[in-house]
Structures are given as C-alpha cells and as structure tokens.
C-alpha cells in the first residue's frame, strides 16, 4: 500500500505508521458509527497517510465537506470535524453545531490538524458551543511522508506567512515536526543552516530538546546531518522553469498531494475494443510516486533524455512479450504467465508516460516556450539584466498570463540584485496599466519579500555568486548528466550547490559567498547519548536531511537525488519541505488581488 516509502535509505514508513496509529486511536475514541466533516484543504494531505478503507474500518460511514449551515443528515452516532485551527473555520463549525438536531443528540468531536489552538477554543467558547464537544483533540501531522526520500508539510502559504506576514506558525510546526522525526529516528547530531527562518527553527529545536530533556528515547541516529535552508536564500531557483520530467509535469499540469490531473483526450483511445465509447470528460487522475518503476526511473531525467528512456523501455517490454514465442515447455509458459501482471502493469505505465511526454513535448517545442526559456537563461547568465527586456515588454503587450510576466521580472531583478529604479517603475507601470491597478498590492508583496527591488548602491553580487558556486555550466549534459546543472539545462540550483558544498569541502570554503546571501549561517551540535554514536562502516554513506523552509521544487529534488546517486558523493539526501512548489504556485501564493465586486 505504501511501497514507495520503503525504497529509500531511510524507512519513512515508520513515520507513516506512527501517523496512522494516532489516527486510529483517535477514531476509536469516538465509539460507534461516525461521519467526518472535512476541512477541504486537509483531504489531500490525509490521503498521503490513510485511504478511505482505513477510515471505513473504524466505522466512518459518511464524509462531508465543511460548509456553513447544517450538516447533511446521516444516521451516525458521532460527528467528527477534521479542521485546521483557523478562526473562520470555527465560525462555520459553531454554526454547524448550533443547528444540530436537539432531539437526536449526536456526539460531536473536533480534531485539530496539526495542532490544537487555544485561540480557536476560545472562539468556540464565545460562540457557546465549546461544551458540545465530547472530544477536543489534536492530530499532529507535521511532516507527511510523500515519497521514499521526501517529506512535506503540505503547508501552502508557509513562504507567504514567514516572509510577508511575519507569521512564524509554520516554522513552529516545522520545528515540532523535526522533534517528532527525531523521536522516531534518533537525535540528529549536526545541524547546519542558512537564513533567518533556519536560525529560528534551529533555536526552537534546541529549546524543545531542553524542554523534553529526560524523556528521550534511546534510538540510534538515522540521520547524520540536518541542513535547514531558507527559501529566500535562493529566490532564483523556483523562478526558473524546471526542465526535468517531473518538474515539467508540475509546471504544466500541477501536482497536488502526489496526484496530477491530465487532460483526458490523450488517454481516451487507450481502451481498444470499446471504440464506440465517448471521450471521457473527467480529467485523468494519476498518482505519481516511485512505487511505479518506470516513473522512478525517468522522473528526474532532463526532459530531453526522457524520449530515449521511454523508447528503450518500450523495446524491453515488447521483447519481454515476444518471449512467449520462445516458451516451449509447459514450465516455461507458466513462468511467462506468472510474469504477465507485472509486464502488463509496466506496459500501461509506459503508455501513460508516453502520452504525458507527448503532451509536454507539444508545449516544450512551441516557440513561446523556447523564447521565454532563452530569456530566462540570458538573465541567469547575466546578459542585459540592467535594461528593460523587450521580450517582457512584448509579453505584457500581448497580455500573456500575469504570473509569467511576474516570474520573468522577478527573475531579472534577482539576477541583477535589484533593478534600476527607472526600469522597475517602467515594469510596474506597464503591468498596472495592462493588468489592472489592483495588482499594485501584488507588486508591493513581491517587493516586500525581496523578489522585486530597486537597485541599492551596493554592487551587484550575483555574478560573483554565480562564478564561485558555478551556478552556470555551459556544457550541461542532458542525456548522461555529470553535474546537477542538467535539471535546468545549464543552471545549477543555488540551494543544491550549497548542500553539495556543505558535504564536501565544507562551507568554510565559501564563507565569502555565504555572507552575500541573506540571513546568518550557523552550525549546531546536539549531544547524542553515549553508546548511540554511530559506527560507520567503511564505504557507508552519510545521511543528510535537507529541509527547505518555504518550499522546494521538483527540479531541486531531482538534483539532490542525483547527488545521492553519484558514486563518490558519500552522502545520501532525504528531502523535507514546507511544501512542494513551482514558480507559478509560488508567485500565486504571494499575489493579493482583491476580489472584484462589480456593481
């Protein structure tokens, strides 16, 4: 059921099982049949922990979405609210509870995810419904296992909250999540970090460790190092268009909670023999994780190398099917038949990915895509970053999607360490005039987080950073990569370079560059109880947990996986993030466009 979690270096299924156990325990607390009322946002993350079948085993008979008004009728003994601790949700719950049928009282429970909140309870009290709840509990769901080497908090607005609104709730949850992780996988002896938020999280972790002193579990540490990275240390990477297979799927179709929705047309003809059937109108939903053998193989490849991989796979599969002609004896045939299910699964997986690849190819071969990629690469290599880009001008004039414009403008600003006032004003004016004055708020937000800024008197240090960290590799090999720069066909993500340098030769070698990047860098050590010091076998790799505060892109994950698999790297990486992001979803989370309320 969760086979994708076993495959990595660290068995993340322990975490999933712990989460499932807690869930079961809570459900059993409310004895009898129950209906769950979901905060819609939570259904995705919960899907990564437990399927409906688990809920069903524990007498969950109905599921509703949290809405104002009455709860739809259901003959159940318990109503359970699964909600985030948000005040606006409390108001809805209060309304729900107040309109419950007084004659047939049902037990009402509330489960806060990821943490209960006094503020919300206070609100429920004010509304006079706090006493109606039989159970008020919390379900600690911080780090959700997403794949064999990937943990996500699935906290959408974390970057916005931390950098724009100065609300560090998600950092608190991150620290708590890391403490939980350490309870299951042992104390992490070394903590490195870069950035304000990283510092904050590390401080909280050290503080919590002191708080829990005396109740520690004795577990041999699984992780050797924790690296905390602020997203705002590397603003550039998410802005660039990802060029790995998975990255492109995310850029084009968007992956949410491990699922992607694809246009149905391509997948329609797949069912041969039912020719007369209508085209499906529902988008096709696919789960993407490393449980699928083929996907695990190609997800992190540069898209230009995916075609070759797919055709190779196709050959292998058809060869495997050809085997049947060679099968002469009954025994051989039996062996062949026993492999059939596996082969058929492989074939359908191949068919799916061929279709996806076709869909992506349609876009990547378009002129538009090529032009904008060229401009991105120009910015990243530092060409003409101090002038108004004619390409951006054209795009605005053609009223291309605003997010695309913002991505490019922000990228130019980041690569130039701020734009000249005149250039900045020009862009802003153009954007406001074309897309509407309401976007002034978005622009202000982008300025606040540092994605857009006027050039200060300081020298543009981006070229220095680029050169020292080798962020641009001219000869990126897309087919058989030898460097992480293949994920962006030339650009090596800054965040991953920092990780790479940390492992070897260490940050001391790039002290100067680190100083240019925002926020402090630091190193902390946590005492590991004697007797639990890991004795490393010769040739055994170190395990590093890299935590991206503010989100991580699929291309960065691909780059880290590439580093793990490099023969002489000596380090394997497990990745954690507040959320999996791409440039579009990221910029979107920072936008503030008031709803128009037309007369």
State the residues that interact with another protein by CB under 8 A.
Answer: 85, 87-88, 115, 117-119, 122, 165-169, 171-172, 175, 200, 203-204, 207, 210-215, 421, 425, 429, 432-433, 436-438, 440-441, 444, 592, 594-599
Strand partners for 523 = 192
Smallest gap from Cβ 142 to another protein, in A, equals: 13
Which residue is associated with the tokens 């499932």?
20
Strand residue runs (E) in 526-587: 542-549, 571-577
CB nearer another protein, residue 24 or residue 86? 86
Residues, the chain: 599
CA distances to 123, 181, 270, 285, 526 from 221, rounded to whole Å, are: 42, 11, 48, 38, 11
Strand residue runs (E) in 86-181: 107-112, 133-138, 144-147, 150-152
**Helix or strand run (H / E) with residue 451:** none
CA 92 to chain centre: 29
Q: What distance in Å separates the CA atoms of residue 73 and residue 65, rounded to the nearest whole number?
A: 13
Q: What distance in Å separates the CA atoms of residue 216 and residue 208, rounded to the nearest whole number?
A: 12
Non-local (6+) Cβ contacts of 175 within 8 A are: 201, 204, 205, 208
CB nearer another protein, residue 209 or residue 347? 209
Smallest gap from Cβ 177 to another protein, in A, equals: 13
Q: What distance in Å separates the CA atoms of residue 502 and residue 519, rounded to the nearest whole number?
A: 17
Smallest gap from Cβ 599 to another protein, in A, equals: 5
Q: What distance in Å separates the CA atoms of residue 443 and residue 452, rounded to the nearest whole number?
A: 8
Contact (Cβ atoms closer than 8 angstroms) between residue 387 and residue 393: no
Smallest gap from Cβ 461 to another protein, in A, equals: 25
CB neighbours of residue 393 within 10 Å? 14
Helix (H/G/I), strand (E/B), else coil: 511: helix
Which residue is associated with the tokens 């922990």?
49
CA geometry: angle 77, 83, 85, nearest 5 deg = 135
Strand partners for 260 = 255, 286
Smallest gap from Cβ 167 to another protein, in A, equals: 5
Residue 276 structure tokens: 């007369």
| Order of all β-strands in the sheet with 107-112 | 60-65, 34-38, 78-83, 107-112, 133-138
Smallest gap from Cβ 73 to another protein, in A, equals: 31
CB nearer another protein, residue 48 or residue 431? 431
Non-local (6+) Cβ contacts of 361 within 8 A are: 307
Smallest gap from Cβ 318 to another protein, in A, equals: 57
Helix (H/G/I), strand (E/B), else coil: 148: coil
Of residues 292, 105, 251, 188, the one with CA closest to residue 526: 188
Smallest gap from Cβ 587 to another protein, in A, equals: 18
* Neighbour-count burial of 112, counting CB atoms closer than 10 A to its CB (0-12 exposed, 13-18 middle, 19+ buried): buried
CB nearer another protein, residue 170 or residue 543? 170
Contact (Cβ atoms closer than 8 angstroms) between residue 79 and residue 99: no
Smallest gap from Cβ 126 to another protein, in A, equals: 10
Smallest gap from Cβ 117 to another protein, in A, equals: 4
CB nearer another protein, residue 180 or residue 381? 180
Smallest gap from Cβ 160 to another protein, in A, equals: 11
Smallest gap from Cβ 593 to another protein, in A, equals: 9
Smallest gap from Cβ 87 to another protein, in A, equals: 6
CB nearer another protein, residue 175 or residue 496? 175
Residue 510 structure tokens: 């790039």
Name the CA radius of gyration of the chain, rounded.
Answer: 26
Smallest gap from Cβ 221 to another protein, in A, equals: 19
Q: What distance in Å separates the CA atoms of residue 423 and residue 455, rounded to the nearest whole number?
A: 10
Helix (H/G/I), strand (E/B), else coil: 524: strand
396 backbone dihedrals φ, ψ, rounded to 5°: -65, -45
């Amino acid at each position: 059921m969760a086979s994708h979690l076993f495959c990595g270096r660290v068995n993340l299924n322990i975490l999933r099982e712990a989460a499932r156990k807690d869930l079961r325990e809570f459900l059993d607390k409310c004895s009898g049949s129950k209906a769950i009322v979901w905060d819609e946002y939570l259904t995705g993350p919960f899907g990564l922990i437990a399927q409906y079948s688990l809920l069903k085993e524990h007498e969950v008979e109905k599921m509703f979405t949290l809405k104002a008004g009455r709860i739809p009728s259901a003959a159940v003994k318990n109503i359970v609210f699964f909600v985030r601790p948000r005040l606006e949700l409390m108001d809805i719950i209060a309304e729900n509870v107040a309109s419950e049928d007084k004659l047939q009282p049902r037990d009402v429970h509330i489960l806060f995810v990821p943490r209960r909140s006094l503020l919300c309870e206070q609100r429920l009290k004010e509304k006079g419904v706090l006493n109606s709840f039989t159970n008020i509990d919390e379900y600690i769901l911080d780090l959700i296992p997403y794949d064999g080497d990937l943990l996500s908090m699935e906290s959408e607005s974390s970057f916005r909250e931390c950098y724009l609104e100065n609300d560090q709730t998600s950092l608190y949850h991150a620290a708590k999540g890391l403490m939980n992780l350490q309870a299951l996988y042992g104390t992490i002896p070394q903590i490195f970090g870069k950035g304000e938020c990283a510092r904050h999280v590390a401080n909280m972790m050290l503080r919590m460790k002191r708080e829990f002193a005396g109740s520690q579990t004795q577990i041999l540490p699984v992780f050797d190092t924790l690296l905390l990275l602020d997203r705002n240390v590397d603003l550039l990477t998410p802005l660039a268009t990802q060029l790995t297979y998975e990255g492109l799927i995310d850029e084009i179709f968007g992956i949410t909670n491990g699922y992607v929705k694809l246009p149905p047309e391509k997948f329609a003809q797949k069912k041969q023999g039912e020719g007369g059937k209508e085209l499906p109108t529902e988008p096709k939903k696919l789960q993407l994780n490393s449980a699928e053998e083929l996907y695990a193989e190609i997800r992190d490849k540069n898209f230009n190398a995916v075609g070759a991989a797919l055709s190779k796979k196709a050959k292998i599969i058809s060869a495997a099917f050809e085997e049947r002609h060679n099968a002469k004896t009954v025994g051989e045939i039996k062996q062949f038949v026993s492999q059939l299910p596996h082969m058929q699964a492989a074939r359908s997986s191949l068919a799916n990915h061929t279709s996806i690849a076709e869909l992506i190819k349609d876009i990547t071969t378009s002129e538009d895509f090529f032009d904008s990629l060229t401009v991105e690469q120009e910015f990243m290599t530092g060409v003409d970053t101090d002038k108004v880009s004619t390409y951006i001008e054209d795009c605005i004039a053609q009223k291309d999607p605003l997010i695309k414009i913002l991505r490019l403008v922000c990228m130019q600003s980041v690569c130039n360490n701020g734009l000249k006032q005149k250039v900045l004003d020009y862009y802003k004016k153009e954007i406001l005039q074309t897309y509407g004055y309401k976007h002034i708020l978005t622009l202000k937000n982008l300025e606040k987080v540092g994605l857009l800024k006027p050039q200060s008197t300081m020298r543009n240090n981006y070229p220095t950073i680029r050169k020292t960290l080798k962020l641009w590799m001219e000869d990126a090999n897309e087919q058989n990569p030898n460097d992480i720069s293949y994920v962006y066909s030339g650009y090596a993500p800054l965040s991953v370079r920092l990780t790479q340098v940390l492992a070897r030769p260490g940050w001391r070698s790039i002290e100067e560059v680190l100083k240019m990047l925002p926020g402090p860098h630091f190193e902390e050590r946590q005492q590991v109880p004697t007797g639990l010091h890991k004795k490393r076998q010769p040739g055994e790799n170190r395990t590093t947990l890299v935590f991206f505060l503010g989100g991580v892109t699929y291309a960065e994950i691909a780059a880290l996986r590439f580093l793990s698999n490099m023969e002489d790297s000596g380090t394997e990486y497990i990745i954690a993030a507040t959320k999996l992001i791409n440039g579009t979803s990221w910029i979107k989370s920072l936008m503030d466009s008031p709803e128009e309320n037309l007369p």
